[in-house]
Amino acid sequence: MLRFIAQRLLLLPVLLFLFSVVVFILVEAPPGDFLTSYMATLASGGSSIETEQLEALKQQFGLDQPIHIQYLRWMESLSKGDLGLSLEYQRPNIDLIGERLWLTIALALFAFFITWIIAIPAGIYSATHQNSLLDYVLTVLNYIGVATPNFLLALILMWVAYAQFNVSITGLFSSDYIQAPWSVARVIDLLQHIWLPAIVLGIGGTARLTRIMRANLLDELHKPYVVTARAKGLSEWKVVLKYPVRLAINPLVSTIGWYLPQLFSGSLIVATVMSLQNVGPLLLRALTQQDMYLAGSILLIYCFLTIIGTLISDVLLAIVDPRIRMEGA
């Protein structure tokens, strides 16, 4: 087990290197660079910039160098743990991403827990009460949940809250706390706001997970080992929870890995609609402004989280399923 984790961790730098090349090429791909779009913005605002100033900026960021030199310079600073300066904001990228990243992770984790806390019991109920009234109701709700885009749900909820209760439910903080430094009060304020976007983000996943759990469990419920457990004299709910539910959940554990990064990236539209201060809108703006080191850093962090997520789910899978654990040994 430890060897397995160590192997994976050794692979991490290699994977990150490969990803960094791909990310850099992608970010560089659009024609022009940050300064062309920067000048276009200035020009549309009626002002302009001195040629010397432009040259100075170019040199400062190395934009006058050939592309592979630019990449090497980026790598050099990355290897020192320096994510570079944002071209647009003229601030260290690490500061820009920092706070938003924690908010993004908090939001994703909330959405994730809401998904599992609702989906697993609902799936178990549906499967053990197949064709009951509540099973039908849950099935219909699942169809709706799967079919509704989450930004639409966000819009509907925002409208209902505004029209009916006259409250605005956008953002992760109330206006007093947006710029405030971290404090207990700010955390409480965050908790008061985070659940709604978390539900919006989690609803589609909840519906999907419920359906998968129901289907998996229905498969397992007819397996001979369930008859064996029942024939022992165990009570029905003990039979179901100890044996088939356990086996039905096992394959779901492997989805955790790709589920987390999906929540990060999937939150872009919702974050824009609900004006959440997470990484999504920052990435969007960085990409449209060709703020390439900022965009590159964010994308690289996504890649890192994806790899870590996959590692976590592989480890979890090995923990819950002895067949996989022993295969690796």
Interface residues with other proteins (CB under 8 A) are 222-225, 227-236, 242-243, 246-247, 250, 320-323, 326
Tokens of 237: 């709910």
Q: How far apart are CA 177 and CA 115, in angstroms?
A: 28
Euclidean distance between CA atoms 68 and 86, whole angstroms: 20
Q: Answer left, alpha or beta for residue 58, where phi above 0 means left and psi between -120 and 50 means alpha.
A: alpha
CA distance 110 to 197: 9
Give the nearest distance from C-beta 248 to other proteins in angstroms.
11
Comparison of 234 and 269: residue with beta carbon closer to other proteins: 234
Minimum distance from CB of 80 to other proteins (Å)? 46
Give residue 189's identity as a one-letter amino acid code: D
* Nearest distance from C-beta of residue 250 to other proteins, angstroms: 7
User: Across the strands, what pairs with 92?
Assistant: 85
Q: Which is nearer to other proteins, 91 or 246 (CB)?
A: 246
Rounded to whole angstroms, the Cα distance separating 167 from 40 reads 39
Q: Which is nearer to other proteins, 253 or 270 (CB)?
A: 253
In the bound state with other proteins, the residue whose beta carbon lies nearer, of 243 and 293, is 243
Pick the closest to residue 122 from 109, 106, 108, 140 (CA basis).
Answer: 140
Closest to other proteins by CB, 76 or 236? 236
